[in-house]
Homo-oligomer: A and B are copies of this chain.
Amino acid sequence: MSNYFNFETLKFLLHDVHKLEDVLKAERFKDIDSDMINIFLDSVKDYCDKALYPVFREMDEKPAYFEDGKIHVHPIVGEVMIKFGEMGLIGGHFDEEYGGMQMPACAINSAYSIVSTANNNMSGYPGLTTGAAELITTFASQELKDTYIEKMITGQWAGTMCLTEPQAGSSLSDITTSASANEDGSYNIKGQKIFISGGDHEFTENFIHLLIGRIEGAPAGTKGISLFVVPKLKIEEDGSLVSNNVETIADFQKMGQRGYCTTHLGFGETGTTQGWLVGEENRGLKYMFQMMNTARISVGRDATACATAAYHASLQYAKERVQGRKIKESGKKDSSNDPVAIIEHADVRRMLMFQKSVSEGSLSLIQEAAAIHDKMEGASPDEKKDLHLLLELITPVAKTYPSEKGKEAVDKGVQILGGYGFCTDFVLQQYLRDVRIMSIYEGTTGIQSLDLLGRKIPMDGGKSVQLLVAEFTKEIKRAKAHGSLSEFADQLAGGMKTIESVLGKISGFAMKGEFEKYLADATPFMEMFSTLVIAWQWLKMANTAQDALSNNKLTYSTEFYESKIHTMKFFYKYELSRIEGIAKIFEHEEFLTIPTEKEFNF
């Protein structure tokens, strides 16, 4: 029943590949050791097995819905908030002064990988609460901190992120929610927000919305956006809660993640809604990006989770389902032979290995991002700046690769089940519906690709790319030292050359000021670039596995390590190879997707 996750792989990534023990050397983590984290993860896994995985299908079959002005969700949602508060899953990595345990991001992130794989409806409710509370601890006044943080990290109150408006989806410069200053320093907020994940339900006492809006008279565009704390219920001086006139207008009905409510909220439309400014005026979008960057990696993690859960479900089916026969030397199938489990067929095995390579490659990148985050603790200012640049470069990739390739991976899982995969009696179709949102959440793939090519790659004069290249080079050297992995080091180096040459070509347009051309194929560029980044992660895993085998320091079975190397080879053969085709797109001189005067007959 709880066969949805490979715990050994998570531990291998955490301890061996991304070296948690090194991370823990920082002063901040002095009270934390490896054993504590293992025990913490065991307890999370245990809770997921017993409470979250068993309600996963039920939450889809009886989706969240809106009735009589209220949103109704599965009762587990309220339980989880409190339980996750107790377990440290909401505020475990916060400073002790805010009630946290100063746990490393690596650990929290690993825990959430288990949670989301068990039930991807569940990570958003506590996860956004963490993000909202972090914004308050980082940028808000002591008074706001004192009012909200404790209640939030204990899971008594939930947090949300209110950005999108009906008329402005990805285009945040066009938001119109307004804020007018009151004499007491608060603001009256007026406007509507849509697609607010976990925005309201009956099982949590209060909702603390971190909302962006415009203070009257603020400049147009993103430079006039401020950030506010807007509670659903205001806190009176005696601690009692009174309505702040935040109206729940609807719950969006979705094709997937139907246990995770997506709300439409109105502010200041049925009475006065008060909000409190976070930090300085007109700097709201900059602050919000802290939460968005974390949220982007969380989306990558949840996409990875869908791919992982689907992989294990289709793996189990492939091992049990007996059908068809092996192809004989003659090329025929001999019907007098016994049929075999379908995992014996090369085509099914290819689909399983694809799923494994996407699932584990993505998980490794998500862990890498968490490790970089943790390494900033105790780093020198220069090191910290470098780590920050590297993380900025990796973030859109960690969001996009798992979202895009996760869809393909789950699709292969459905395919393994054949007709049954399409039937609601089997879980695969649920993962397929769920994973579809990931390339839309927190900035679509198109937006992430523009971010990668337009902002992250040129950052600091190309420094972020240099830092990534240095990381790649480290793994190439390690692989060269293991003679058996040398050809894969060469393939990775070849891929780097390919992308360098594409970048060289398109940078020409940027230098000429032709930015529309520079960015026109940002998405195929992302496809190519992100495949290379995952290839780097696979080489890192293979190097680590080969180290263990060569030094005979085996925590897991020999097959475990050998199979990691095998999967790296699979990824290089079947996926990394493809970037050579994508690179050819950039050789064509004509820009076919940029509108011209000439009308195109769609």
Taking Cβ atoms with an 8 Å cutoff, the residues of A that contact B are: 164, 168-171, 173-174, 194-195, 220-222, 252-256, 315, 323-331, 333, 335-336, 339, 343-350, 352-353, 356, 407, 411, 414-415, 418-419, 421-425, 429, 432-433, 436-437, 439-440, 444-446, 449-450, 454, 510, 513-516, 518-524, 557, 559-560, 562-563, 566, 569-570, 572-574, 577-585, 587-588, 590-595, 598-602
Q: Given A422-B254, A439-B415 in contact, is the A174-B592 Cβ separation under 8 Å?
A: no
A581 to B559, CA, bound (A): 30
Contact A169 B580 (CB under 8 A): no
Chain B residues with CB under 8 A of A169:
323, 418-419
Contact A577 B582 (CB under 8 A): yes
Count chain B CB atoms within 10 A of each CB in A329, A562, A590, A601 and give the residue with the most. Answer: A601
Chain B residues with CB under 8 A of A323:
168-171, 174
Among B168, B254, B582, the residue within 8 A (CB) of A578 is: B582
Q: Given A329-B515, A344-B595, A432-B255 in contact, is the A602-B173 Cβ separation under 8 Å?
A: no
Chain B residues with CB under 8 A of A591:
346
Chain B residues with CB under 8 A of A336:
220-221
Q: How far is the CB of A489 from chain B (nearest CB, A)?
A: 15
Contact A590 B569 (CB under 8 A): yes
A253 to B419, CA, bound (A): 11
Q: How far is the CB of A585 from chain B (nearest CB, A)?
A: 5
Q: Given A221-B335, A255-B432, A347-B523 in contact, is the A164-B419 Cβ separation under 8 Å?
A: yes
Q: Given A573-B592, A580-B580 in contact, is the A331-B254 Cβ separation under 8 Å?
A: no
Chain B residues with CB under 8 A of A419:
164, 169, 194-195, 252, 440
A422 to B164, CA, bound (A): 15
Contact A573 B590 (CB under 8 A): yes
Q: Given A331-B518, A346-B594, A601-B562 in contact, is the A422-B407 Cβ separation under 8 Å?
A: no
Chain B residues with CB under 8 A of A513:
329-331
Contact A521 B350 (CB under 8 A): yes
A600 to B562, CA, bound (A): 8
Contact B516 A326 (CB under 8 A): yes
Chain B residues with CB under 8 A of A415:
439-440, 444-446
A248 to B492, CA, bound (A): 57
Q: How far is the CB of A469 from chain B (nearest CB, A)?
A: 22
Give 7 pairs: A residue, B residue, CB < 8 Å, sorted on A.
A171-B323, A343-B602, A346-B595, A347-B523, A356-B602, A563-B601, A569-B590
Chain B residues with CB under 8 A of A252:
419, 423, 425
Q: How far is the CB of A302 from chain B (nearest CB, A)?
A: 14
Contact A425 B520 (CB under 8 A): no
Contact A601 B560 (CB under 8 A): yes
A590 nearest in chain B by CB position? B569
A336 to B579, CA, bound (A): 39
A323 to B447, CA, bound (A): 13
Chain B residues with CB under 8 A of A559:
598-601
A574 to B528, CA, bound (A): 13
Contact A557 B601 (CB under 8 A): yes
